[in-house]
Amino acid sequence: MVLEIGNRYILRRFFSGLLAFLLSITLTFFLLRSLPGDYMTDLLLEIGRYAPPELVASFKHEVGLDLPLPEQYLLYLTGILKGNWGHSFEYGLPVFSLIREKLYWTLVLLLPSSLLSAGLGMGFGAYSGWKNGSKTDAFLLHSLVFVGAVPSYCWGFAGLFIFSFRLGLLPFGGYVSLPGTEPAGLFRHALLPVLTLTLCSVPGIYYLMRNSMLDTLGEDYILAARARGFSESRILFQHALPNSILPVLTMTSLHCAHMLAGSVFIETIFAWPGLGLLTYSALETHDLPLLQGIFLVDTLLIIIANLTADLLYPLIDPRIRSRIRGE
C-alpha cells in the first residue's frame, strides 16, 4: 500500500522535514557561537581560572574551537547527526544520553495522554457535532471552552490541591525511578500528570473535530444517504465519521507533539523526572547545550508527527492517493 503511494511524495515530505531540522540545528549553532564571549565561556571561565592557558588551548582544539567558522559548523552538524549533541554544563554528561534517559519517562506520560486526548477529543467532538444544537452539545462546548481557557499549570495546581492535599489520595509527585518500582506506584504517580496533560489538550482537538463534523454533516452525500433510508448510526459511522476525521488528523498528531513542549509545566509541577523537569532545571542553571538538545528533540518530534500524518493521509483518502499518483 505504502509503495503504491509513490516514493516522491514521501521523499518530498521527508525533505521538508529535514530542512526544518537543519534550520533548527543552524539556529542552535549560531546561538552557541554568539554566546557572550566564547563558545563555552561559562565553563571555560571556571576552568580557565585554574587551568594553565596551554590546557585551555588544547581543550579548545579538542572541541574544535580553533577552526574557522564554516568548518566548526560542519563539525557541529556531523556531530549532531552522529549523536554527539555536546555536553551539559551542569551535569557534565553528554546531552544525548541525558535526554534519551529522560525522554523515556516523558513518553511514559505522553503516550497515554496523547492516546487519551486524541480519543476523547475526537469522540466528544464527533458526538457534539453530530448532536449539534442539543443540550449535550451545548454543555460539552461550553465546558470544554472553559477547560481550554484554563492554563495547564492551573489544572496542575488544582489537581495537586484537591487530590493530594485535601483528599490525600495521590502523592505530590516526585516520582523516583528505582529499578523494580512496582507498577502500582508508577501508576499512582503518573495518574495526575497524565490526566492534566489530557485535560489540556482535549479542548483543542474537540473543537476542531466538532467543526469538522458540522462541515461534513452539511455535505450532500450525508443528505443523499439519508434519502436512501440508511439508519442514523450507519450514516454516522460509514459516512460522517471517516470524512470528518480527515482534516483533524494533522492537527491531532501535531497536538500530541506539542504536548512534549507543554509537559515542561506539568512535569515541573508534579516533579516528574522527565524531559520537562530537565528543561526546568536547565533553565535554572542556564544550561544552554542541554536546552538546545531538548529543543532539537522537540523539533524532531514535531517533524515526525507531521510525517506520520502526511503518510496516513493517502492511506485513508483516495483523493490524495490519486493526486500523488498523478504527480
Partner 1 sequence: MELIEIKSLKVTFPTEAGLVRSVDCVDLQLGAREKLGLIGETGSGKSVLAHATLRLLQPDALCEGEILYQGRNLLDCTPTELRRLRGRELALIPQNPSRALNPLQTVGKQLFETLRQAGYSKKEAVAKMPELLRSVGAIDPDSWAKAYPHECSGGMCERIVIALSLAFSPSLLLADEPTKGLDSLNRARIITLLGEVTENRALLFITHDLEAAALLCTRLALMYAGELVELGDKAAVFENPLHPYTRGLLFALPARGMQPIPGRSPPLTALPDGCRFHSRCPEAIARCRSQHPPLFDTGNGHFCRCWLYV
Partner 2 sequence: MLLYLLVALLASWLAPYDPLEISGSPCESPGPDHLFGTNDFGQDLFSMLLLGSRATLLFGFLGACISAGLGTGLGVFSGFLGGRTDRVISGTLDVLMTIPQLPLLLVLSIYLRPGLYLLCGVMGLLGSLTQARIIRAKVLSLSTENFVYAAKGLGLSDFHIMFRYILPSVFPLTFVKFLFGAQHYMLLGVGLSFLGLGDPEIVDWGQMLHQVYSGGGFALGLWNWFLPPCFAMVGLSFSLSLLGYSLEPWLSPQLRHEKQAFFECD
Binding partner 1 by CB under 8 A: which of 223, 286, 304, 315? 223
Interface residue list for partner 2 (CB under 8 A): 16-17, 19-20, 23-24, 27-28, 31, 34-35, 145-146, 148-154, 157-158, 160-161, 165-166, 172, 197, 200-201, 203-204, 207-208, 211, 215, 247, 251, 254-255, 257-265, 268-269, 279-280, 283-284, 286, 288, 291-292, 294-295, 298-299, 302-303, 306
Cα-based distances in Å from 167 to 79, 148, 159, 172, 231: 50, 25, 10, 11, 47
For residue 140, the partner it binds in partner 1, partner 2, none, with Cβ less than 5 to 8 A by kind, is none
Does position 179 bind partner 1 by CB under 8 A?
no
Separation of alpha carbons 200 and 252, rounded Å: 13
Write out the three cell numbers for 237: 459511522
A 10 A CB-CB count for 39 gives: 16
Cβ closest to partner 2, residue 8 vs residue 325: 8
Binding partner 1 by CB under 8 A: which of 180, 229, 233, 284? 229
Taking the complex as a whole, the smallest distance from the CB of residue 266 to partner 1 amounts, in Å, to 37
Buried b / exposed e over 105-119, threshold 16 CB at 10 Å, is bbebbbebbbebbbe
Separation of alpha carbons 57 and 211, rounded Å: 62
Taking the complex as a whole, the smallest distance from the CB of residue 6 to partner 1 amounts, in Å, to 17
Does position 184 bind partner 1 by CB under 8 A?
no
Does position 136 bind partner 1 by CB under 8 A?
no
Q: What is the DSSP string of 244-294?
A: HHHHHHHHHHHHHHHHHHHHHHHHHHHT-TTHHHHHHHHHHTT-HHHHHHH
- Could you tell me how far CA 3 lies from the centroid of its own chain? 28
Write out the three cell numbers for 178: 528505582
Q: Which of 110, 144, 64, 127 is nearest to 301 (CA)?
A: 110
Residue 6 DSSP code: -
Q: Is 87 helix (H, G, I), strand (E, B) or coil?
A: strand
Cβ closest to partner 1, residue 142 vs residue 234: 234
For residue 151, the partner it binds in partner 1, partner 2, none, with Cβ less than 5 to 8 A by kind, is partner 2
For residue 317, the partner it binds in partner 2, partner 1, none, with Cβ less than 5 to 8 A by kind, is partner 1
Does position 325 bind partner 1 by CB under 8 A?
no
Does position 239 bind partner 1 by CB under 8 A?
yes
Taking the complex as a whole, the smallest distance from the CB of residue 106 to partner 1 amounts, in Å, to 35
Q: Are 193 and 211 in contact (CB under 8 A)?
A: no
Binding partner 1 by CB under 8 A: which of 36, 168, 183, 318? 318
For residue 98, the partner it binds in partner 1, partner 2, none, with Cβ less than 5 to 8 A by kind, is none
For residue 308, the partner it binds in partner 1, partner 2, none, with Cβ less than 5 to 8 A by kind, is none
Separation of alpha carbons 44 and 89, rounded Å: 10
Cα-based distances in Å from 230 to 26, 127, 221, 237, 321: 56, 19, 12, 11, 28
Taking the complex as a whole, the smallest distance from the CB of residue 234 to partner 1 amounts, in Å, to 8
For residue 49, the partner it binds in partner 2, partner 1, none, with Cβ less than 5 to 8 A by kind, is none
Does position 133 bind partner 1 by CB under 8 A?
yes
For residue 322, the partner it binds in partner 1, partner 2, none, with Cβ less than 5 to 8 A by kind, is partner 1
Write out the three cell numbers for 198: 489530557
A 10 A CB-CB count for 182 gives: 9
Kindly list the residues in this chain that would bind partner 1 in the complex (CB under 8 A): 133, 219-221, 223-231, 234, 238-239, 242-243, 246, 316-319, 322
